[in-house]
Structure formats: structure tokens, C-alpha cells
Structure 1
Amino acid sequence: MERIESKSNNFLKEVKKLKDKKHRTKSSSFLVEGLRFVKEAIESDFNVEALIISDKILDKFYDLGIDSIDLENTRVVNVSDEIFTTVCDTESPQGILAIVKNKALEISEENGFYVLADRIQDPGNMGTIIRTAHAAGALGVILTKGTVDIYNEKTLRSTMGSIFKVPIIEDNNLELTKSLRDNGFKLVTSTLETDNNFFDVNLKDNVIISVGNEGNGISDELKGLSDIAVKIPMPGNAESLNAAVAASIMVYEVVRQNMI
């Protein structure tokens, strides 16, 4: 384990840069914090480039057996508690942080369903959608251009580790979505501009469940690609549903139908 004593260390300066999206994009890396989250990263198929461990967490690091996991290709750095607070994002840090390399994931065209997030802006909503997709066994989560950065601290925490469990694919030009449709996947879009009851739709076929921007809903371009436009019934006459709630309702209707 390497010890760094200076706040001005070049490696630590590079770690701090990863708090900004432009540097995460440039380096294809992101940060995760906390014992549980870091352990999930190490045990995943993602490449953990480095671990930074503060003095106060050393005992737990060994107690949890993280040091016994294969870290041959991972740089392990120990710093003082004071230095650690300069590189982390949380107000009450647990004392461990990992630099994780983004993983390029291939799209699967096996039978099942995808969840498409169209310009979702709220990190909590996006994280919940990823977590729900993972729990429901989705083939992957598709992100359109304009969707919130999934590697910012708030989104990552909201996924509760599911970021490492379900493929997430950016589809900035919708070519992936179009390809899936060409291969038999039906695009289901939620909108208030239809009388089609969502619960009347057959979801046992291969489908892409899409949920739109919190304020503006599904984009016109996606509406143009839509195979099935549906509305979730709201007998209480609410104006709309939270985006993550709507996604969860739709995803678990897919699950329910396929369990019958």
C-alpha cells in the first residue's frame, strides 16, 4: 500500500478533477465512495484503477477482506483523514474511494426488455430507474442525448450499486433504438396524448419501455418512432406521475405479464 502525505500530489490533483463531468468524460473514469459501494465496484466486471483509503478506515478495510480481493492491477493509496476530505464529495465521508474505469457494454438482442430514459434530468430519478431496471431483470438501460450524467455523485448513490449490474448504453442519435426496432423490439412510449390504457397492452413480446423528461415528456423524435403509445391510468386525476415512479409501474407490468 502506497502512502501519500502531500495535498499537492499530482495523483490526488487528477482525482479531484474527476468531480467534474468534462474530466470524467475525458478520462472515461468516475468516482465511487463508501465501503459498500467500493466493494461492489471491486467485485464487478469493471476495472478499478485505484483505491484511496484514509487512516480512519484502515481497520475496516482489512476486516471486510477488501484487501484479499484481487487488486493486482489496482493502485492502493493511503492518506490522512485531512487529505481524504479534499478529494471526496460527501460531507461525512466513510474514508474510502475508488476510481473506476467506464465499461463499454455491448447491446444484447436476446428476448426481454429494455428501459429507455429520454432526457431524464433529475439524478435521483435516473438512479432509481437504473436500480429498478436491474431489479426487474432488464436487458439494459438506454440513455438519449440530454439525459443527466449517470456518473455524478447523486446519480451513482441513487443506483445503490446497480450501476455495476445492468448494462447502460448511450444512444445519442437513436441508432441503437432503431436497430432494436428493426430486430423485433417494440417501442412503448408513455404520453398523456392517447386513450390507450397501458395495462391493456401485450408486453410479453420484446419491448423497449420508454419514460420521458420530467417536464416535457417523450421527445417528438421518439414519438415518431413509437410502436405503441400508452397512458398509465390515473383515476385520482393527478396531472402526471414522477418519472421514476412511472418507469417502475411500466417495468413491473412487463415483469408481471411475463410471470403469468
Structure 2
Amino acid sequence: MELIQSKDNAIVKEVRKLKEKKYRNEKGQFLVEGFRFVEEALKSQFDVPLVLISEKAEEKLQDFQNKNRLNDKLKLYIVKESIFNTLCNTETPQGILAVVNKKSINMEADKGFYILVDRLQDPGNLGTIIRSAHAAGASGVIMTKGTVDVYNDKTLRSTMGSIFNIAIIEDEDLMVLDRLRNKGFKLVVSSLEDSKCFYETDLTGNFIIAVGNEGNGISDEIYSKADLKVKIPMPGNAESLNAAAAASIMIFEAVRQRLTIE
């Protein structure tokens, strides 16, 4: 197995570029770090063309190979520790990272529910929403233009591997939203005005829960398309809820209602 010892190695240079969004978009690839995350990628339907392991973690290589079925197309390299660390975003790398090819998942279902994130900016919030949506069996997460990059390393880590298990749909022109609404999906948005209590809303049908920007909420364009305007009751009179917390509350109320009628 080849040992990479130079920071000027062509593979190292290409992997380092993927730390930037413009190169991720250009190459159609992203990076994942850590043994658990890499194993999740290998188990998924995503293609993993390259895995790099630091010299320091080389003793874990045999166990890693035994636990994972590595296909013939996957290239595996050992990398000098000091060079490997320059490729990572975490402060204490586990010693493994993988290049993953982006996968276009077009799963515009005829029934179920989606989460729409509208210009969300915090990577942790987006990752948590993706994780909650996956756990709840949602049909997918729709992202509008201006939302933080889903392949940002902080977003990816927050998904805890759910990124590989749920459809992520980028909808910059809102055509996906409009198609789903034409299929009968109801768009549910949170609003303090002219809204009903969220817990009085029937969520057993086909719908899309919209979650807005942390500071400004739902955009006017999305708001104008709303079929249902709701509010989560807050008896403690807090001004607002964290975006990911609000989304999770609504997601699992939908789960509760669906389980009740089964």
C-alpha cells in the first residue's frame, strides 16, 4: 500500500481542495472524517472512491478492512501524519477520511412529508434537522437558495450519518416545492399572525413543514405559498425557539399523529 509523504502529492492537493465549497460543487464530491462516518459512507449507496489513513492510525487498518467490504475501485492510501492533519477540519482527527461522490437523490414522493429549510445559516441546525427528518421517516429535506452548504464539515458531522439515508433536495427556484404542492402536499409555515395552534393541525396527510432563517424567519416568497399557518404554543413566553428545536417538535408531532391512526 502506497505511503504518501509529500504535501505536494497530487492526491493530497485534490483532497485539500475539497475543503472549499466551490471545489466540492465543481468535483461533485465531499469529505467525511472519522471511522464511524467513513463506515456509514461505505455502507450507503454513495460511491467512495478514496480513503486516506494517517500513519498514526495504521494499526487500525486491518480491522477497518475486515469490517468493511472495500470494492476494487476504492483507492486506499497511508498518509504521513503531519500531512494528513492538514486535510482535516477536526481538532483531534481520528486518522481516517474519505472522499465521497455526491449522489443525486430524486425522491419526490406521492405521499408522506418533507421538511423545507428556508435560508437556514447555522450548520448545526441544518445537520440536526436532517438527522431528525431521517429518524422520523420523512421523505426528504428540501433546501432553498441561501441555505448553508449541506456538505460543510460542521453540517455533515451534525447529521451523524443521516446524510446518507435521506433525500436532500436543493430547490433554488422553488420548482420542487411547486410540484409537490401541485401533487396535493400542503405547505405548513410557522407564523405569529393569523395562525392556529400547531397541535390542532392535522398532520396525517401529505405536507411540507417549512423552517425559516434563524434571524428573519420564513421568507416572504415561501410565506406567500403557505397553505397552513401555525404556531407552537410557548407558555413560558420565550420570544422564539431554536430553528432545529422547532423543526424537531413539528416533525415528531407528525410522527405521533401517524402512529395514533395506524
With the shorter chain as reference, the TM-score category is over 0.9
Moved more, 217-226 or 82-91: 82-91
Amino acid at match of 1:54: S
Q: Distance in 2 between matches of 1:45 and 1:76?
A: 19
Q: Distance in 1 between matches of 2:26 and 2:65?
A: 32
* 1:33 aligned residue: 33
Determine helix, strand or coil for the equivalent of 2:26: helix
Amino acid at match of 1:93: P
Shift of 1:102: 0.5
Are the aligned partners of 2:49 and 2:101 in contact in 1 as well (CA < 8 Å)?
Answer: yes
Correspondence list, 1:72-91, <5 A: 72-91=72-91
* 2:221 aligned residue: 221
Shift of 1:207: 0.6
Decide whether aligned partners of structure 1 residues 174 and 258 sit closer, same or farther in structure 2, where only a CA change above 3 A counts.
same
* 2:50 aligned residue: 50
Determine helix, strand or coil for the equivalent of 1:48: coil
1:147 equivalent in alignment to 2:147: yes
Determine helix, strand or coil for the equivalent of 2:49: strand
Are the aligned partners of 2:108 and 2:180 in contact in 1 as well (CA < 8 Å)?
Answer: no
Q: Distance in 2 between matches of 1:251 and 1:23?
A: 33
Q: Distance in 2 between matches of 1:40 and 1:242?
A: 28
Are the aligned partners of 2:110 and 2:183 in contact in 1 as well (CA < 8 Å)?
Answer: no
Are the aligned partners of 2:116 and 2:209 in contact in 1 as well (CA < 8 Å)?
Answer: yes
Shift of 1:108: 2.8
Shift of 1:95: 0.5
Q: Distance in 1 between matches of 2:17 and 2:70?
A: 27
Alpha-carbon deviations, 1:189-234, whole Å to 9, x = none?
1122233111101111101011100011111111111110111111
Q: Distance in 1 between matches of 2:63 and 2:210?
A: 43
Shift of 1:172: 0.3
State the aligned residue count.
260
Determine helix, strand or coil for the equivalent of 1:99: strand
Moved more, 103-112 or 37-46: 103-112
Are the aligned partners of 1:187 and 1:225 in contact in 2 as well (CA < 8 Å)?
Answer: yes
1:188 equivalent in alignment to 2:188: yes
Amino acid at match of 1:198: F
Q: Distance in 2 between matches of 1:42 and 1:109?
A: 26
Q: Distance in 2 between matches of 1:162 and 1:202?
A: 27
Are the aligned partners of 1:18 and 1:24 in contact in 2 as well (CA < 8 Å)?
Answer: yes
Amino acid at match of 2:3: R
* 2:242 aligned residue: 242
Unaligned 5+ segments in structure 1 are none
Shift of 1:60: 1.7
* 2:9 aligned residue: 9
Q: Distance in 2 between matches of 1:73 and 1:148?
A: 32
1:168 equivalent in alignment to 2:168: yes
Amino acid at match of 1:151: Y
Shift of 1:87: 1.3
1:138 equivalent in alignment to 2:138: yes
Q: Distance in 2 between matches of 1:213 and 1:66?
A: 44
Are the aligned partners of 1:52 and 1:97 in contact in 2 as well (CA < 8 Å)?
Answer: yes
Q: Distance in 1 between matches of 2:66 and 2:175?
A: 40
Unaligned 5+ segments in structure 2 are none
Alpha-carbon deviations, 1:67-119, whole Å to 9, x = none?
75132111111112122112111111110000001100112323210011111
* 2:256 aligned residue: 256
Shift of 1:66: 5.2
Report sequence identity in percent.
Answer: 57
For the aligned residue pairs, the C-alpha RMSD in angstroms reads 1.2
Determine helix, strand or coil for the equivalent of 2:31: strand
Q: Distance in 1 between matches of 2:140 and 2:60?
A: 34
Q: Hey, which bits of structure 1, 4+ residues long, moved more than 6 A? A: none
Q: Distance in 1 between matches of 2:214 and 2:68?
A: 44
* 2:118 aligned residue: 118
